[in-house]
């Protein structure tokens, strides 16, 4: 028990230095946790995608359309239950680039049956399919812009010129965390009709098909069968699971994600340097004390316990404070980035890694002071003045 009291007293001997060290560790833990959480948020939407859905797109690139006539042929492939389609619209609200969010044209009327993780009240879905310029948006967009049912929404597309006006007729919510609630959907038939009148060269195609299959275990075989139908045609296709399609889309930001990962590990180095500096200063100041303890009969393992205990105590307190501060900071980050991430929540694994790394740093930071204290000759220690 005396050793624990001595560890606590040593930790509080230089209160300002200890507090600054703890605060520095807390800031580093917050930064590490936030970065790791944002990395996880990049892939949150892919993790909740059902395994029984495929995406069929243009084999050259997803930026090129494929014919609407492909729908019937895809649905005749054994194992395919139904196929729905969508076009990426790339519109911004009120012609302000800061108001960007995912927006797509969808069809036909069973589209939301395929996407069962998107829940829309039946009466709102019925109204959506009755009115051509209607739209359905996610709950997070409602919270972001304060929209209500019946509100007009004007989008300016970065692909299809002109202003596009819609009426909000439905609000969807995800059945579980991770489902994207930041999308806006509107009717593909109205979208295509507008193109035929104003931009006929861009009409008649769909961006991709989402294919519902009867058995996820046959996804590879069904994908090959779909693509084989359009082999050597003017528009060949590439089919893959929707999760793979989403991950390939996210891969465009691979360099950013790798940079964030590297930064998260560099922060561990910062934590270690901060604590190593503190422990080295403490060890230098206590050389004569360590020598005196040896003369009183303290064994090397006693000194190891005192130094290691102090280092771990500082590391754990700093980690605990950092984890405590993480939640309000992540809440603010989630509010600022609500248009880009479906969910921003620190996982248990991330918090566990923060704690494990803090303990490791505490251990490593104590190695040099321990080595110096245990190898110290009593005469040399008593001669030292710090």
Over residues 54-103, the pLDDT tens digits come to: 999 999 887 789 999 999 999 999 999 999 999 999 899 988 888 888 89
Query: What span, in angstroms and rounded, lies between the C-alpha atoms of 160 and 140?
Result: 25
Q: Do 7 and 132 fall into the same domain?
A: no
- List the chain residues with pLDDT less than 50: none
Crossing angle (nearest 10°) for helices 287-295 and 348-375: 70
Q: Is residue 217 part of a domain?
A: yes
| 333 and 264 fall within a common domain | yes
Supply the pLDDT for residue 36.
81
Final residue in a domain of this structure, among 235, 265, 290: 235
Per-residue model confidence (pLDDT) at position 111: 95
Structural domain count, the chain:
2
247 part of a folded domain: no
* Residue 87 and residue 223 share a domain: yes
Domain that holds residue 133: 60-235
Residue 96 shares a structural domain with residue 16: no
Q: Are residues 260 and 131 in the same domain?
A: no
211 in Cβ contact with 56 (< 8 Å): yes
Is residue 249 a part of any domain in this protein?
Answer: no
For residues 193 and 278, membership in a common domain is answered with no
Residue 129 and residue 216 in one domain: yes
Q: Tell whether 127 and 158 lie within a shared domain.
A: yes
Cα–Cα distance list, 12 to 18, 22, 114 (Å) = 7, 11, 61
In a domain, 243, yes or no: no
Residue 50 belongs to a domain:
no
Question: Is 246 inside any structural domain?
Answer: no
pLDDT at 267: 77
Q: In sequence order, which residues have a C-beta less than 8 Å from that of residue 68 and are 6 or more positions away?
A: 85, 204, 205, 206
User: Do residues 135 and 75 share a domain?
Assistant: yes
213 and 342 co-located in one domain:
no
The SS3 call for residue 108 is coil
Q: Does residue 19 sit in the same domain as residue 112?
A: no
Residues 204 and 332 in one domain: no
- Only one residue has tokens 């829940």, namely 119
Global pTM value: 0.68
Indicate whether 298 belongs to any domain. Answer: yes
- Among the listed residues 225, 21, 184, 216, the one whose alpha carbon sits nearest the alpha carbon of residue 87: 184
Q: Of 192, 207, 235, which one is at a domain's C-terminal end?
A: 235
Distance (Å, whole) CA 162 – CA 164: 6
Last residue in a domain, options 181, 208, 235: 235
Q: Does residue 310 sit within a domain?
A: yes
Give the list of residues 6+ apart from residue 356 with CB closer than 8 angstroms, or none.
none
């Amino acid at each position: 028990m005396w050793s624990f009291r001595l560890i606590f007293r040593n930790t509080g001997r230089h209160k300002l230095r200890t507090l600054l060290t703890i605060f520095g560790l807390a800031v580093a833990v917050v930064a590490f946790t936030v970065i790791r959480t944002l990395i996880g948020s990049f892939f949150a939407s892919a993790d909740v995608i059902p395994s029984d859905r495929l995406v069929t797109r243009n084999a050259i690139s997803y930026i090129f359309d494929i014919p609407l006539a492909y729908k019937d042929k895809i649905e005749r492939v054994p194992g395919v239950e139904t196929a729905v389609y969508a076009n990426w619209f790339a519109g911004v609200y009120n012609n302000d680039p800061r108001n960007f969010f995912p927006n797509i044209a969808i069809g036909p009327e069973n589209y939301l049956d395929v996407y069962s993780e998107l829940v829309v009240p039946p009466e709102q879905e019925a109204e959506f399919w009755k009115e051509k310029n209607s739209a359905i948006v996610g709950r997070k967009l409602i919270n972001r812009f304060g929209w209500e049912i019946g509100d007009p929404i004007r989008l300016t597309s970065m692909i299809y010129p002109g202003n596009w006006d819609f009426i909000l007729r439905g609000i969807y919510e995800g059945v579980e965390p991770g489902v994207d609630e930041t999308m806006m959907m509107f009717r593909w038939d109205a979208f295509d009709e507008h193109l035929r009148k104003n931009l006929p060269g861009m009409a008649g195609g769909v961006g991709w098909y989402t294919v519902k299959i009867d058995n996820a275990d046959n996804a590879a075989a069904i994908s090959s069968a779909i693509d084989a139908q359009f082999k050597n045609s003017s528009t060949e296709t590439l089919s893959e699971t929707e999760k793979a399609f989403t991950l390939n889309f996210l891969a465009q930001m691979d360099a950013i994600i790798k940079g964030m990962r590297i930064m998260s590990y560099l922060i561990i180095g910062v934590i270690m340097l901060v604590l190593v500096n503190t422990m080295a200063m403490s060890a230098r100041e206590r050389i004569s004390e360590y020598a005196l303890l040896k003369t009183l009969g303290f064994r090397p393992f006693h000194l190891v316990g005192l130094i290691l205990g102090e280092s771990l105590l500082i590391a754990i307190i700093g980690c605990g404070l950092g984890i405590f501060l993480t939640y309000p900071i992540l809440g603010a980050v989630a509010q600022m980035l609500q248009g880009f991430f479906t969910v921003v929540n620190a996982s248990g694994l991330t918090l566990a890694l923060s704690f494990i790394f803090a303990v490791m740093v505490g251990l490593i930071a104590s190695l040099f002071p321990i080595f110096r204290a245990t190898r110290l000759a009593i005469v040399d220690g008593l001669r030292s003045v710090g």
